Amino acid sequence: MSIVLWSESTENFIRNALSPLLVTGLMLDAGKHQAQVEVKHENLPVSLKERHATLMRLVSRLVGWDIQLVSNDPK
């Protein structure tokens, strides 16, 4: 079971919902209720890469925004 610390701030609420991921960047489009969340590539475990779509759907439903997780992978 997970507990998410609620916040009136959409940015903080999204960060809390994604914990323990370390969010390095967050771009919000309030008009479209969309957020792009950036995390460090090395902090994105393999297991999360495989299921990040499921995690994003759950967080999106919780927050009420469309959330896209991106990695700052230097490639």
CB crowding 18-30: b at 16 or more within 10 Å, else e: beebebeebebee
Q: What is the tens place of the pLDDT at every residue in 10-64?
A: 999 999 888 777 889 999 999 999 999 898 877 666 546 666 667 778 888 988 9
Instruction: Concatenate the DSSP letters of all residues of 1-63 into one string.
Output: -------SSHHHHHHHHTTTS-EEEEEEETTTTEEEEEE-GGGS-HHHHHHHHHHHHHHHHHH
Q: Which domains does the chain have, with CATH numbers?
A: 10-71 (3.30.300.20)
User: What's the pLDDT at 41?
Assistant: 77
User: Tokens standing for 45?
Assistant: 């475990």
pTM score, whole prediction? 0.77
